């Protein structure tokens, strides 16, 4: 009797502790991401108050890059531009890029996955073969092909990532729709005479799409890292567009003398990624 009570108490304590950890992860992640969004949106205001523009070089310096100082809190890059200002504007581009790619990729993936799962037959088979073909194309090869043909711009980079980013979510969505299609809600709607379109978009899709958004924080983090990687390789945004990857590329050239070009962008990137990961962990738990 006593042992059973002890076990129940421990189990209750574990469940409460797990619930509290989940809430802490979720709220701390939301606070962190919100802080980064505020910083990104206030980049223009901060730049005007701070006194340095995003493309402005400090010609009074004797050499570039210059270490952190009272005039440049996080130092300057290899052209005398303020690193702090470049980080804030680069954050704006990175978040905007991740949100646009996420919205387009998930919209396409959810729609095509729902169509494949609900209609089945030749449509489903054709869609699966298309996904298999596209998945065999290496991402870097696709990026080089489109960037060389269309030029380097924000929207071309979005196109590259959308073309390679919709497949995973469409496969998951197809499985969810297949499961919900055989469920009681869909069968009841069909028995009441609902049209196939109404069954899919009114009854099946909302139930199937809800679990999909659990992946959203990690997807946003993935797209953000992709932009940083492309910028680091010189395949991203056109200079002199501010970019975290471009600063890391300069750090690769000037390290260890210009350590600030590596440390501060990495701190910002790690903080943002941890915030997205905390949100995802909190939602899943």
The C-alpha atoms of residue 129 and residue 28 are separated, in whole angstroms, by: 41
Percent of the chain surpassing pLDDT 90: 47
pLDDT in tens, 90-127: 999 999 999 999 999 999 999 999 899 888 889 989 99
CB of 250 within 8 A of CB of 242? no
Query: What pTM, to 2 d.p., does this model score?
Result: 0.87
Q: What is the pLDDT of residue 19?
A: 64
Q: Which fold has domain 73-284?
A: MetI-like fold (1.10.3720)
pLDDT in tens, 211-222: 777 888 989 999
Q: Which residue has the higher pLDDT, 181 or 27?
A: 27
* DSSP label at residue 199: I
Which residues, other chains included, contact 36 with Cβ-Cβ below 8 Å and sequence gap of 6+?
91, 95, 271, 272, 275
pLDDT in tens, 259-284: 999 999 999 999 999 999 999 888 87
Q: What is the pLDDT of residue 12?
A: 40
* DSSP label at residue 152: S
- Other CB atoms within a 10 A radius of the CB of residue 10 amount to 10
């Amino acid at each position: 009797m006593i042992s059973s009570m002890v076990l129940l108490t421990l189990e209750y304590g574990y469940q409460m502790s797990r619930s509290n950890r989940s809430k802490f992860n979720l709220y701390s992640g939301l606070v962190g991401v919100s802080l980064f969004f505020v910083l990104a949106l206030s980049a223009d205001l901060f730049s005007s108050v701070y006194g340095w523009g995003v493309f402005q070089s400090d010609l009074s310096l004797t050499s570039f890059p210059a270490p952190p100082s009272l005039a440049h809190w996080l130092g300057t890059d290899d052209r005398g531009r303020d690193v702090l200002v470049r980080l804030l504007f680069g954050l704006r581009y990175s978040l905007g890029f991740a949100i646009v790619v996420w919205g387009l990729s998930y919209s396409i993936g959810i729609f095509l996955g729902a169509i494949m799962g609900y209609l089945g037959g030749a449509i489903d088979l054709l869609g699966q073969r298309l996904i298999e073909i596209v998945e065999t194309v290496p991402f870097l090869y696709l990026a080089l092909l489109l960037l060389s043909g269309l030029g380097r711009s924000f929207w071309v980079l979005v196109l590259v990532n959308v073309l390679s980013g919709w497949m995973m979510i469409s496969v998951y969505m197809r499985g969810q729709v297949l499961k919900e299609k055989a469920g009681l809600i869909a069968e009841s709607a069909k028995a009441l005479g609902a049209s196939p379109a109404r069954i899919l978009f009114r009854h099946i899709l909302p139930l199937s799409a809800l679990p999909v958004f659990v992946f959203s924080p990690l997807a946003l983090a993935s797209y953000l890292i992709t932009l940083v990687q492309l910028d680091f390789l010189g395949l991203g945004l056109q200079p002199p567009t501010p970019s975290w990857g471009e600063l890391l590329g300069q750090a690769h050239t000037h390290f260890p003398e210009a350590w600030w070009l590596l440390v501060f962008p990495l701190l910002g990137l790690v903080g943002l990624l941890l915030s997205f990961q905390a949100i995802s962990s909190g939602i899943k738990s």
